[in-house]
C-alpha cells in the first residue's frame, strides 16, 4: 500500500470526527424522538464498523500476531454491556435514576472519545511505521540485498 493511500485513509479519521462533532453540536436543536433516531442510526453505524473491524482482524490474524484482536473483543464486550445497561435503565422513570443514567452515558461517551484518541495516535504510529518499512524495503531492494 502506497504511503499516499495511508494518508488518504488517515484523513478519513478527521473527516469522520468533524461530521460527528457537527452532529453533536446540532443535537441540542433536535427533539427527543429525533435524538433517539440519530442515536439508533449512530449505533447501527458503530456496530457495522465494529463488525468490519472484526472481519479485518480475523483475516489478519493468520498473517501477524496482534493484541488488537484482544482489545477489539474487550471493547465490543464493554460496548454490549453498556448498551444493555443503558437500555434496561431507560425504562425507569425515576428522576434520580435518570440522572445516574445520564451520568453513566456521559462517562461512556467520554471513555469512547479517549479510546478513539488513543486509537488515532496508534493509527498514526502504524501508518508512519508502514511508510518507513516500505521505504526500507525499496532501499534494500535497490542495493541488491
Give the pTM. 0.58
Q: What is the pLDDT of residue 59?
A: 67
Q: How far from 35 is each of 5, 32, 97, 98, CA to CA, in Å?
A: 35, 5, 20, 16
Exposed/middle/buried for residue 13 (C-beta within 10 Å: 0-12, 13-18, 19+): middle
Question: How many other β-carbons are positioned within 10 Å of the β-carbon of residue 89?
Answer: 15
Q: What is the pLDDT of residue 64?
A: 52
Give the pLDDT of residue 104.
92
- Give residue 103's pLDDT: 92
pLDDT tens, 45-65?
888 887 777 777 666 655 555
Summarised one tens digit per residue, pLDDT across range 112-131 is 888 888 888 888 888 888 88
**Grid coordinates in use for 57?**
482482524
* Set of cell numbers at residue 32: 427527543
- Per residue in 77-104, pLDDT tens? 888 888 888 777 666 567 778 888 889 9
The pLDDT assigned to 78 comes to 87
Amino acid at each position: 500500500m502506497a504511503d499516499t493511500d495511508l494518508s488518504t485513509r488517515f484523513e478519513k479519521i478527521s473527516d469522520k470526527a468533524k461530521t460527528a462533532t457537527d452532529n453533536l453540536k446540532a443535537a441540542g436543536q433536535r427533539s427527543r424522538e429525533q435524538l433517539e433516531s440519530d442515536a439508533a442510526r449512530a449505533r447501527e453505524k458503530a456496530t457495522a464498523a465494529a463488525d468490519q473491524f472484526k472481519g479485518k482482524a480475523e483475516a489478519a490474524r493468520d498473517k501477524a500476531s496482534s493484541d488488537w484482536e484482544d482489545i477489539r473483543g474487550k471493547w465490543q464486550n464493554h460496548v454490549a454491556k453498556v448498551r444493555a445497561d443503558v437500555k434496561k435503565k431507560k425504562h425507569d422513570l425515576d428522576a434520580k435514576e435518570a440522572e445516574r443514567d445520564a451520568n453513566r452515558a456521559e462517562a461512556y461517551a467520554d471513555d469512547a472519545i479517549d479510546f478513539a484518541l488513543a486509537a488515532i495516535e496508534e493509527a498514526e504510529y502504524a501508518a508512519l511505521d508502514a511508510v518507513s518499512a516500505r521505504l526500507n524495503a525499496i532501499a534494500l531492494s535497490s542495493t541488491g540485498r
